Amino acid sequence: MRLSTQRGNAMQTTHHDEMRRQVIREAVNAANIRSGGYQPLYLMGYCDSPDCPAREVTIFIKDYDRELDALLTRHGFRCPICQRILKTHEVLTLEEHRRHQDQLARMSVNAQLYQQRTGSGFIPATVLMDDSLPDKS
């Protein structure tokens, strides 16, 4: 009985891994379409293994030789610590990543300005999520 359960789990893991391989390949393909070709990409994933200390993984990819799809098909998008296949969070183009980083920077500055202005250690969610540029005053 135990052997068949282990075999069943192995088959589930294989199917699960195949699904994750497909998701990352589709996300990379969609990002390549958005960027207008094979531009640098940021692959972001999550290691959900309870036995691994890694969680969020970001990899900067330059796929100028167009080898990434074959590598992801063969190996998957793996955790650098435990080697399990990662859950794909998103794939961003270089421009999308830059815009996101700029947005996070504006949000951080707005939170700091709020703290400086109020002296409060509590920052409301509306301030934390505010990515507007401060007024030129």
Per-residue model confidence (pLDDT) at position 19: 93
pLDDT at 3: 42
State the Cα–Cα distance between residues 83 and 66, nearest whole angstrom.
23
* Pair 6, 58: CB distance under 8 Å: no
Spans of all domains in the chain: 2-93
Task: Phi first, then psi: give them for residue 21, nearest 5 degrees.
Answer: -60, -45
Residue 15's pLDDT is what? Answer: 86
> pLDDT above 70 covers what percent of the chain?
89
The 10s digit of each residue's pLDDT in 44-73 is 999 999 999 999 999 999 988 889 999 999
Q: What is the tens place of the pLDDT at every residue in 5-15?
A: 444 444 456 88
Low-confidence spans in the chain with pLDDT less than 50: 1-11
Q: What is the pTM of this model?
A: 0.78
